[in-house]
Amino acid sequence: MLDGSVKKAALYVPAALTLLLSLPALGGDGAKTLTLQGAIKMAKERNEEVFIAKEQMKQAKIARIKAWAALLPALTVEGTYTHANAEIDVNTRIIQKQDSFAGNAAASLTFFKGSSIPALLQAYDLASAGKEDAKWTINDFCFEVARAYYAVLAGENLVKAAERSLATAKEHLQAVKVQIEAEEALLIDETRAKMAIVTAQGDLINAKNAKDNAEDYLAFLINIDPPLALVPPPAVGIPDKSDKELAKEALAKRPDLASSKLKVEAAKKGAKGTWMDFLPSFALTGTFKASDTTGWSGDPYTWNIVVSLEWALWDGGYLLASGLEQESMLDQAQLEEKELIRQIKLQVKQARRDVANAEANLATASEQLNLAKLSWDMVLSRYNAGLATSLELTDADSTLRQSEIQVVAQQLNSSLAVLEFLRVIGRDPVGKDIAEP
């Protein structure tokens, strides 16, 4: 997993800002142009977290081979060389050679063991669950990339807002100087205007640092070096469906639920296999031996076939305890599946509500920004006419600056709310079905 301190430092912007889709992305000289889909594709091809998920899926598949080992025959071959202290022969038959060679071959097959078939079927269920887990993990990682992508775009727009605030502060200072020359303003008004410029310059530095942190984090996720030039992605529409329909879609598509269901099936087979271990097991073993010492028989080759039965009538209670443990694990898996289903239904309802709330907040912030711009223009005109004070103009500057920042923040919140909605209904960050890992 990604280090928490890296995320916290790099995602300074997403905690408070939003994407302003109407503004173009910033990109310095040599910046690599990226789309959202391109960034996700690059991250899936380069990031270690994706590779780890795929290795875990591979390990689950390998477990199937191990399960087959209990059902397939085993073959062993052994060769020996023996040097004895003396050679022994009786009536021309060599009983012991001083230097002798021998070879053994043995084949065995357990043709009935109670837990073998359930264990094999369980391994297949767990391998399928591992694939679904990998699909969900990789998709979650893609959403992390998308959130970082939107954060960079929001950071760029925050920088633009800070630049506009600095330009406004400078315009304020120029208006004050005109009033001072006309002896209609005091030197304290000029000092206040200069302080506003210093504040705006500090805000611009902070905005650039926050944008750079977000860009560094995105570059880390996709494993390339900044700078990056990002293309604002098109808006993703929210399906016009009821909560019940959306929940049904999520229950059908989400890989984490598919994995949970497969783990329940695997737990059922695990419990059945443990109880079947109380049955006897049967095995067939054949051996063949070749030696250059013929012994009493005079034949250098010997072979035998053995059919064996093994039945653990009582093992101190280990099998009984194992059976009860597997039953408990099955109950746990079923409860986890049931809980996840309830969580998904709740998540869908809340995610849809969060999208609507974010859109409403964005509309409010946009209206407040329009009013703040209008107010600033009016106060500046009144100030130039000598009808408003410097304090009123300073307040109008501050309100306009905060309104611009709030719009950036609410647009990011809106974009992140849509991303979370897509995630909980079982889609990828661009609104499509989740791809196979």
pLDDT at site 258:
97
Looking at the structure, do residues 26 and 143 belong to the same domain, yes or no? yes
Higher pLDDT, 128 or 394: 128
Looking at the structure, do residues 62 and 81 belong to the same domain, yes or no? no
Q: What percent of the chain clears pLDDT 70, i.e. is strictly above it?
A: 92
What is the spatial distance between Cα 61 and Cα 126, in angstroms, rounded to a whole number? 8
pLDDT at site 249:
94
Mean pLDDT of all residues in 160-181: 89
How does residue 20 score in pLDDT terms, banded at 50, 70 and 90? very low
Looking at the structure, do residues 339 and 383 belong to the same domain, yes or no? yes
CATH number, residue 357: 1.20.1600.10
> Does residue 435 sit within a domain?
no
pLDDT at site 296:
62
Mean pLDDT of all residues in 6-30: 40
Query: Domain range for residue 284?
Result: 72-112+280-311
pLDDT at site 370:
96
pLDDT at site 332:
96
CATH number, residue 86: 2.20.200
Structure tokens at 251: 């229950």
How does residue 287 score in pLDDT terms, banded at 50, 70 and 90? very high
Mean pLDDT of all residues in 241-257: 95
Looking at the structure, do residues 94 and 78 belong to the same domain, yes or no? yes
Looking at the structure, do residues 291 and 410 belong to the same domain, yes or no? no
Looking at the structure, do residues 17 and 142 belong to the same domain, yes or no? yes
Which of 269, 291, 311 is the C-terminal boundary of a domain? 311
> Does residue 327 sit within a domain?
yes
What is the spatial distance between Cα 392 and Cα 176, in angstroms, rounded to a whole number? 12
Lowest mean pLDDT among 83-97, 175-189, 254-268, 312-326: 83-97
Looking at the structure, do residues 361 and 389 belong to the same domain, yes or no? yes
* pLDDT tens column, 94-140: 777 778 888 899 999 888 888 899 999 999 999 999 999 999 999 99
Name which of 289, 287, 292, 288 is nearest 95 in CA terms.
292
pLDDT at site 99:
82
Residues paired with residue 75 on neighbouring β-strands, in sequence order:
107
H/E segment holding residue 103? strand 99-112
Mean pLDDT of all residues in 147-163: 95
> Does residue 15 sit within a domain?
yes
What is the spatial distance between Cα 72 and Cα 305, in angstroms, rounded to a whole number? 18
Looking at the structure, do residues 346 and 416 belong to the same domain, yes or no? yes
Looking at the structure, do residues 235 and 324 belong to the same domain, yes or no? yes
> Does residue 432 sit within a domain?
no
On whether the CB atoms of residues 369 and 404 are closer than 8 A, the answer is yes
pLDDT at site 251:
97
Name which of 292, 314, 309, 310 is nearest 301 in CA terms.
292
Lowest mean pLDDT among 69-78, 134-143, 381-390, 396-405: 381-390
pLDDT at site 30:
63
Judge whether residue 385 has pLDDT over 50: yes
Structure tokens at 124: 């297949």
Looking at the structure, do residues 336 and 197 belong to the same domain, yes or no? yes
Direct distance between the N- and C-terminal alpha carbons of the chain, in angstroms, rounded to an integer: 18
Judge whether residue 19 has pLDDT over 50: no
> Does residue 430 sit within a domain?
no
Judge whether residue 10 has pLDDT over 60: no
Structure tokens at 285: 């073993």
> Does residue 434 sit within a domain?
no
Looking at the structure, do residues 65 and 166 belong to the same domain, yes or no? yes
Which of 264, 291, 311 is the C-terminal boundary of a domain? 311
* pLDDT tens column, 200-237: 999 999 999 999 999 999 999 999 998 999 999 998 88
pLDDT at site 124:
94
> Does residue 335 sit within a domain?
yes
- Which residue in the block uniquely carries the two structure tokens 């994706």? 50
Name which of 55, 215, 78, 72 is nearest 130 in CA terms.
55
pLDDT at site 236:
87
Looking at the structure, do residues 240 and 296 belong to the same domain, yes or no? no
pLDDT at site 301:
86
> Does residue 429 sit within a domain?
no
The mean pLDDT value of the chain amounts to 87
pLDDT at site 18:
39
pLDDT at site 297:
65
Q: What phi-psi label fits residue 371: left (phi over 0), alpha (psi between -120 and 50 degrees) or beta? A: alpha
Domains contained in the chain, number? 2
Amino acid at 178: V
pLDDT at site 295:
65
DSSP type of residue 184: -
